[in-house]
Structure 1
């Protein structure tokens, strides 16, 4: 499982010209799954992200979590996080988890975040989405469960 976390001042996802999800302050998560990913990877990432301290405290130190700053999450499914770019110029996506299982894992991951008290907005799995955000910092953190 890979999750790209971007600290954001505001973000939204549009689908077919309509806003589907929107946050004002928090994290934009780009979420991808590969074969074998399941509960263990979902719990690991949800736990790490829910406790991630990358918001400034009064001294300007990155020391506060999403809940401490009353932030939200905009979660976007993104199978292209598992693009294979080693050969040629057209990426391959065979390392991405098959869509039905990935959709189930994506829904479970978002539910895990909600169960940790986080407000979660989402796109639609598999849809053509336009995501816009103001990256705050910029601060970007990448979680890859194959590397922990």
Structure 2
């Protein structure tokens, strides 16, 4: 399982000209699922995202400018977007190979479980729409982007 996370000042997902999910200050997380991923891996990924320290501590002058707070500590939102293209093999040729991505039916079920777990761990959770053609708009703060992996 892979996640591309971005610290954002705002982010939203639009499907068929309708906003389906949005957050203000927080993390936009694109989630890629592999065939052998399971609920335990999904829980580890959510736990990692929610506790990953990518926000500055504005309350402690000694830690000013240091990334030492997580999204929960700063009261930020988490926007989860399923993104099978994160699993693409790109090491050969000029076209991505998506064979390393989980089958869509299984991925939809696991992604729903991942979202359900995230909602038990954090109050401000939003999502895109699985399998839809989504337009994602965000203002990346930093910019800060990290690729996280769990097995």
TM-score (norm 1): 0.93
Cα deviation 1:88-136 (Å, max 9, x = unaligned):
2221211100011111111111122111124111111110000010000
Per mean C-alpha deviation after superposition, the further-off stretch among 50-59 and 127-136 is: 50-59
Residue 9 of structure 1 and its aligned partner are, at CA, apart by: 0.3
Match of 2:34 in 1: 34
- 1:101 corresponding residue in structure 2: 106
Q: 1:90 aligns with which of 82, 92, 95?
A: 95
**C-alpha separation between the residues in 1 aligned to 2:97 and 2:11?**
29
Q: Match of 1:96, SS?
A: coil
1:54-93 matches, within 5 Å, as 54-58=54-58, 59-93=64-98
Alpha-carbon RMSD: 1.2
User: Quick check: 18-27 or 81-90, which moved more?
Assistant: 81-90
**Mean alpha-carbon deviation: is it higher for 70-79 or for 104-113?**
104-113
Structure 1 gaps, min length 5: none
Partner of 1:49: 49
- How many pairs were matched up? 146
Cα distance in 2, alignment partners of residues 65 and 145 from structure 1: 18
Aligned mate of 1:128, from 118, 133, 145 = 133
The alpha-carbon deviation at position 19 of structure 1 amounts to 1.0
Question: What are the superposed Cα offsets for residues 12-54 of structure 1, whole Å, 9 maximum, x if unpaired?
Answer: 1110111111111100000010111002211211111111111
